[in-house]
Amino acid sequence: MSRSGGMDAKVVIVGASAGGVSAAEALRARGHAGPIELIGAEKHAPYDRPPLSKQLLKGELLASDVALRASNHLQDLDVTERFGVGATALDTRTRTVTLADGTQTDYERLIIATGVSARRLPSWNSVGGVYTLRTLDEALAVQAAIRGAKRVVVVGGGFLGTEIAAVALTLGAEVVLAGKASALLESSLGTAIGEQVAGLHISRGIQLITGPSATVHQLQVQDGQVTGVEFRSGEFVQADLVILAIGSEPAVDWLRSSTLSLTDGVDCGSDCSAEEGIYAVGDVARWHNPLFDVSMRIEHRTNATDQAIHVAERILDGDTTAYAPVPYFWSDQFEVKIQAHGYLRGHDEVKIIEGNLDEGRMIAIYRTGRTLTGVVAVGAAKALREWRGHVATKMDWQDAVSLS
Nearer CB in complex with ligand FAD: 237/340: 340
Q: Is 154 in the site for ligand FAD (CB under 6 A)?
A: no
* 136-148 vs 159-170: helix crossing angle, rounded to 10: 40
Candidate segments 101-109, 235-243, 327-335, 362-370, binder of ligand FAD by CB under 6 A: 327-335
- Of 69 and 351, the one with the shorter C-beta distance to ligand FAD is 69
In 3D, which of 214, 215, 211 has the Cα closest to residue 194? 211
CB under 6 A: which stretch of 146-154, 167-175, 176-184, 299-307 binds ligand FAD? 299-307
Give least dist CB 361 to ligand FAD, A. Answer: 20
CB of 131 to ligand FAD, least distance (A): 12
CB of 255 or CB of 362, closer to ligand FAD: 255
DSSP secondary structure letters along 292-329: TTEEE----HHHHHHHHHHHHHHHHH----------EE
Alpha-carbon gap, residue 326 to 289, rounded angstroms: 9
136 touches ligand FAD by CB under 6 A: no
3-state secondary structure of 18: helix
Coil, helix or strand at residue 10 = coil
Spatial separation of the C-alpha atoms in residues 65 and 203, rounded to whole Å: 32
- Integer Cα distance of 19 and 25 in angstroms: 10
Verify binding: residue 53, ligand FAD, rule CB under 6 A: yes
- Among the residue ranges 12-20, 70-78, 176-184, 265-273, the one whose residues contact ligand FAD (CB under 6 A): 12-20
Nearer to ligand FAD, 50 or 400 (CB): 50
Maximum CA extent, the chain = 64
Cβ atoms of residues 258 and 90 within 8 Å = yes
By CB under 6 A, residue 162 contacts ligand FAD: no
Q: Which residues pair with 81 in a beta bridge?
A: 38
DSSP secondary structure, 202-266, as one string: HHHTPEEEESGGGSEEEEEEETTEEEEEEETTS-EEE-SEEEE---EEES-GGGTTSS---SSSE
Asked if 300 interacts with ligand FAD (CB under 6 A), we say: yes
DSSP 8-state symbol, 400: H
What angle separates helix 191-204 from helix 159-170, to the nearest 10 degrees? Answer: 20
Any contact of residue 49 with ligand FAD (CB under 6 A)? yes
Stretch that binds ligand FAD, among 50-58, 64-72, 183-191, 394-402 (CB under 6 A): 50-58
Burial label, 327 (beta-carbon count in 10 A; 0-12, 13-18, 19+): buried
| Least distance in angstroms from the C-beta of 322 to ligand FAD | 19
- Name the strand (E) or helix (H) holding 287: strand 285-289
Residues in region 172-211 near ligand FAD by CB under 6 A? none
What stretch of H or E contains 139? helix 136-148
String of contacts with ligand FAD for each residue 226-265, x by CB under 6 A: -------------------------x--x-----------
Taking CB under 6 A as the rule, does residue 41 contact ligand FAD? Answer: yes
Which stretch, 104-112, 196-204, 296-304, 367-375, contacts ligand FAD (CB under 6 A)? 296-304
Residue of the chain from 287, 329, 387, 397 that contacts ligand FAD (CB under 6 A)? 329
List Cβ neighbours of 367 (8 Å cut-off, separation of 6 or more): 347, 348, 349, 350, 351, 373, 397, 400
At its nearest, how many Å lie between ligand FAD and the CB of residue 5? 26
Q: Indicate the DSSP class of residue 44.
A: S
- Residue 341 near ligand FAD by CB under 6 A: no
Under 8 Å between Cβ of 99 and 37:
no
Task: Output the smallest distance, CB 331 to ligand FAD, in A.
Answer: 5
Among 12, 95, 108, 114, the residue binding ligand FAD under the rule CB under 6 A is 114
Applying CB under 6 A, which of residues 87, 110, 175, 198 lies at the interface with ligand FAD? 87
| Residue range at the interface with ligand FAD (CB under 6 A); choices 13-21, 147-155, 217-225, 360-368 | 13-21
Stretch that binds ligand FAD, among 1-9, 42-50, 204-212, 349-357 (CB under 6 A): 42-50
List residues near ligand FAD by CB under 6 A. Answer: 14-20, 39-42, 49-50, 52-53, 86-87, 113-116, 133-134, 160, 251, 254, 282-283, 299-301, 304, 329-331
